[in-house]
C-alpha cells in the first residue's frame, strides 16, 4: 500500500498496534496499521536524503540480511542488497506474543467490531546502493542477488514457528503504490496464507485430490499446446498472459516442472527464472514506456517443503488502468486488452521479431 494523500490532521493521531479487523458480514479482513500513517509526515521531511541510498544506513532500522563486500560489517555502507525491518510496519511481532491469525479472533470481535493483533514481520529489500528507481535497469548480477535475497528470506522464515506464509511483493511507481523511488521490494510474513493465496492453496488441493495431478501443471501443458498466450520462454520457465487477466498485459512466470516453493527449486530453474523475469520486465519497460507495476510472488506456505498440489509462480501486474466502483463493489475486474493480443504484442517486443 502506498499513500497519495497529502498529510493531514489524522496523521498525527496517537499510534496503536496493527490490528486485523473483520467485515461484519463477509468476514473478509483488513489490517488497520496506524503506524504507517506516520510515514507520510516523516518521508516528506526527508525528501532530500533517500534512506535507502548507501551512506544513509542510519536512517533505517538495522539490517537483518545483506549481500555485502568481504570484510565489511553489518550496517556499514559496503552492501549490494540490504534487507531491513520496515520502519512503518503493517504487522508486528514481539517475542512474547502469541501469533494471532484472523480466524483466531474471538467470535464477537469477528462479527461485531474491534480487532485482534495483526502479527508478523514486514521487511524491505533494498535493491542496490545507488539511487536507481528502475528494477529492470539493475545489472544482471545485482538483479540476481535481489531474487536470491528473496530466496534467503523465505528460507529464514521456514525456521520461524510463528510464520505460516511469506508474501514477497514489489511496487514500481507511485501509481502502483510505491512511496519511495529507490528500487525496493517488500516482504510481509504472516501466521497463515491470506485471502487469495489461501484460496489458491485450497483449490489446488481439491484438484489434486480429484485428479492426482497439479492443476498448474495441467493448465501449463494446455497453454503450451495452445500457444496463443505464451509471452516468452526459456529452458525451464514460461511467461504466460493470464487468461482472466485483471490488468492489461498481466503476465505470469512459472517453472515448467513441478515445484511448490521458489526457495526449494532446483538451481537450474532458479537461474532460468531470474533470466526470464528480467527479460520480460525489460520487454514491458520498452513496450509500455516504463509502466507502473506490481510483482507478487506466490510461493508455497511455510512449514512444508514439497506440496504436490501447489506450483509457485510470479505475477507481473502492470498498472495501466485504475480500478473503479465496479471493481471495488464486486471484486471482479474489467480489462480492455485481450490476453492473446497482449501476448502477441509482448512476444514480438521481447523476441525482437
Which residues ranging from 2 to 41 are in contact with a copy of itself (CB under 8 A)? 2-6, 8-10, 13, 16, 21-37, 39
The whole-angstrom separation of Cα 197 and Cα 193 is 6
Could you say which residues in the range 91-150 bind a copy of itself, by CB under 8 A? Answer: 111-115
Q: What DSSP line would sit under 62-93, residue for residue? A: PEEEEEE-TT--TTSS-EEEEEEE-SS-SSB-
Phi and psi torsions of 336, nearest 5°: -80, -10
Please pick, among 172, 184, 285, 298, the residue that the annotation labels catalytic: 184
Nearest Cα neighbor of 259 from 219, 308, 296, 297 is: 308
CB of 176 to a copy of itself, least distance (A): 6
Our finding on whether 342 is near a copy of itself (CB under 8 A) is yes
Per CB under 8 A, 227 contacts a copy of itself: no
Q: How many CB atoms lie within 10 A of CB 60?
A: 17
* Residue found under cell 525451464: 236
Backbone angles phi, psi at 111, to 5 degrees: -90, -40
- Minimum CB distance to a copy of itself smaller for 57 or for 192: 192
Q: Is 62 in the site for a copy of itself (CB under 8 A)?
A: no
Q: Which is nearer to a copy of itself, 143 or 207 (CB)?
A: 207
Nearest to 291 by CA among 148, 184, 147, 134: 134
Site string for a copy of itself, 179-208 (x = CB under 8 A): -------x-x-----xxxx-xx--xx--x-
Kindly identify the residues of this chain, within the stretch 301-320, that bind a copy of itself according to CB under 8 A: 315, 317, 320
Residue 184 designated active-site: yes
Give me the 67-96 binding string for a copy of itself, x by CB under 8 A, dash otherwise: -----------------------x------
Pick 32 or 148: Cβ nearer a copy of itself: 32
Grid coordinates standing for 321?
Answer: 488502468
Residues 230-259 interacting with a copy of itself (rule: CB under 8 A):
242-246, 248
Q: 107, 222, 352, 353: which one contacts a copy of itself (CB under 8 A)?
A: 222
- Count residues near a copy of itself (CB under 8 A): 102
- Report the alpha-carbon distance of residue 309 to residue 209 in Å, rounded: 9
Cβ neighbourhood burial of 89 (10 Å; 0-12, 13-18, 19+):
buried
Report 279-298 residues binding a copy of itself (CB under 8 A).
Answer: 288-289, 291, 294-298
Q: Distance between CA atoms of 216 and 214, rounded to whole angstroms?
A: 5
Residue 98 or 226 having the CB closest to a copy of itself: 226
- Residues involved in catalysis: 184
Amino acid at each position: 500500500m502506498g499513500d497519495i494523500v497529502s498529510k493531514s490532521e489524522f496523521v498525527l493521531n496517537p499510534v496503536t498496534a496493527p490490528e486485523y479487523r473483520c467485515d461484519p458480514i463477509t468476514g473478509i479482513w483488513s489490517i488497520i496499521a496506524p503506524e504507517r500513517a506516520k510515514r507520510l509526515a516523516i518521508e516528506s521531511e526527508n525528501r532530500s536524503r533517500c534512506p535507502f541510498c548507501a551512506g544513509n544506513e542510519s536512517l533505517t532500522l538495522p539490517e537483518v540480511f545483506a549481500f555485502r563486500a568481504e570484510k565489511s560489517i553489518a550496517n556499514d555502507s559496503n552492501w549490494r542488497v540490504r534487507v531491513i525491518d520496515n520502519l512503518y510496519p503493517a504487522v508486528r511481532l514481539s517475542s512474547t506474543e502469541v501469533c494471532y491469525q484472523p480466524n483466531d479472533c474471538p467470535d464477537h470481535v469477528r462479527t461485531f467490531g474491534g480487532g485482534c493483533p495483526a502479527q508478523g514481520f514486514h521487511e524491505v529489500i533494498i535493491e542496490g546502493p545507488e539511487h536507481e528507481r528502475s528494477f529492470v535497469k539493475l545489472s544482471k548480477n545485482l538483479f540476481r542477488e535481489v531474487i536470491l535475497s528473496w530466496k534467503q528470506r523465505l528460507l529464514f522464515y521456514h525456521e520461524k514457528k510463528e510464520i505460516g506464509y511469506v508474501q514477497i511483493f514489489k511496487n514500481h511507481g507511485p501509481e502502483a503504490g510505491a512511496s519511495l523511488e529507490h528500487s525496493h521490494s517488500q516482504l510481509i510474513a504472516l501466521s497463515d496464507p491470506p485471502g487469495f493465496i489461501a484460496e489458491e492453496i485450497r483449490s489446488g488441493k481439491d484438484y489434486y485430490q480429484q485428479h492426482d495431478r497439479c492443476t498448474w501443471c495441467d493448465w501449463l501443458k494446455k497453454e503450451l499446446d495452445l500457444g496463443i498466450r505464451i509471452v516468452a520462454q526459456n529452458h525451464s520457465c514460461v511467461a504466460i498472459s493470464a487468461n482472466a487477466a485483471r490488468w492489461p498485459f498481466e503476465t505470469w512466470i512459472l517453472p515448467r516442472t513441478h515445484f511448490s516453493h521458489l526457495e526449494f527449486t532446483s538451481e537450474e530453474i532458479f537461474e532460468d527464472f531470474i533470466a526470464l523475469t528480467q527479460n520480460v520486465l525489460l520487454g514491458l519497460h520498452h513496450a509500455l514506456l516504463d509502466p507502473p507495476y506490481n510483482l507478487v510472488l506466490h510461493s508455497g506456505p511455510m512449514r512444508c517443503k514439497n506440496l504436490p498440489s501447489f506450483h509457485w509462480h510470479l505475477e507481473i501486474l502492470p498498472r495501466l488502468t485504475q480500478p473503479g466502483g465496479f471493481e471495488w463493489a464486486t471484486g471482479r475486474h474489467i480489462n480492455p486488452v485481450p490476453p492473446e493480443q497482449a501476448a502477441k504484442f509482448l512476444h514480438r517486443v521481447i523476441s525482437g521479431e
